[in-house]
Amino acid sequence: MNAAPKVYSAAERLRSGGRDDVRAALQAVRERTHALSGAYAQALGPSMDVRYDPGLNPPRWELGHIAWFQEWWVARNPQRALGDRADPDASRPPPTLAMADEWFDSSRIAHTTRWQLPLPDRAAVHDWLSSTLETTLALLGQLPADAGADDLYFFRLACLHEAMHAEAACYMARTIGFELPGMLEERPITVGGELHVPATRWQLGSPPDGGFAFDNELPAHEVDLPAFGIDAAPVTWDRWQAFVADGGYANPRWWTGDGWSWAQRVRGTSPSFPSGRHAATHLSWHEAQAWCDWAGRRLPTEAEWECAAMTQPGFDWGHTWEWTASAFEPFTGFRVHPYRDYSQPWFRTRQVLRGACAATSPELAHPRYRNFFEPRRADVFAGLRSCASR
């Protein structure tokens, strides 16, 4: 049951490919970063200044943080060759941009503080982005063509981190209120119905020989899955509208207590949504859960989602991130990786999402990737698919 339809080749090349595959991914993701920066500058002006919002970061801070992260974990990392066994507290040389540690270290710089920092202008930040990437690629080029997983670990991590920030730039643009022409090509959903997945023993998480893995994907472990039925595709706006028309936002019977409070505060009793065959998105976990209760369905567990995505050729994903029934928790035997702030601080406060969306870089879109957000978040590209109730 573990044979996977290969619909995520760019992510697989980055995770499991060699030195040249990693180089190509770093360059592709950086090209996207520059395109997004250009769109921001066109919409907001060269300074890219925006008003404070708890769901945003200052755009120039985002760009500087990308360069800082890459330099911190690659060029400045004396234990780079140890991969996920590296000591994150090892002494490092100073950054190539003065004050960078005081400006762009997300572990040390509180969110509200980022808005008061005397950040460099956009041109200076772009110069630093270019110089840090040049150094990163030079160091990568010093490795043999068949470099192993440890040698490539931090190059892959820096690439995926940048891809995450590119996606964040897309949902932040929506929050700010401007479009990203040509950058978010949403596909209509053309399949329907339900897939029937037989009972199986599924290996959840990334296997030891599966290439790069985030710490929260490890260790892989087997879980018993009873047979289940799951939507072939995410819920569309047309399916969502039936819930709205049936008074879904005016009747607390479908909602948890926290969900009902959230809905009344954020949506009201008669919110407006699109219609059509695109995936319903920008929905909170509270809304996804309420829709399932109304429809007599349920959210899949992340193990069910992963199993279906990797074994069922008719499983259509990539339209939107999809909320699951699973809380974001460590797998038994979890070991934190050097980037300690990635997973561990957020366990048991988030819900797991699986999939990808139109804003997701191809290098990030892998069926084993565990995305995670607070249940209240509706600004991100998140929707749902459902399972038959047991």
Which class does domain 194-388 fall in? Answer: alpha beta
CA distance 172 to 2: 37
Q: What is the pLDDT of residue 370?
A: 98
| Topology of domain 9-176, CATH | Four Helix Bundle (Hemerythrin (Met), subunit A) (1.20.120)
Q: How far apart are CA 217 and CA 197, in angstroms?
A: 23
Q: What is the pLDDT of residues 15-46, one digit of tens each?
A: 999 999 999 999 999 999 999 999 999 999 99
- Cβ contact 298:386 at 8 Å: yes
Query: DSSP 3-state assignment of 16?
Result: helix
pLDDT at residue 7, as a whole number: 64
The stretches in the chain having pLDDT less than 70 are 1-7
Q: Is the pTM of this model over 0.85?
A: yes
Q: How do the domains of the chain map onto residue ranges?
A: 9-176, 194-388
Residue 223 CB contacts under 8 Å (≥ 6 apart), including other chains: 201, 202, 204, 303
What pLDDT sits at residue 2?
39
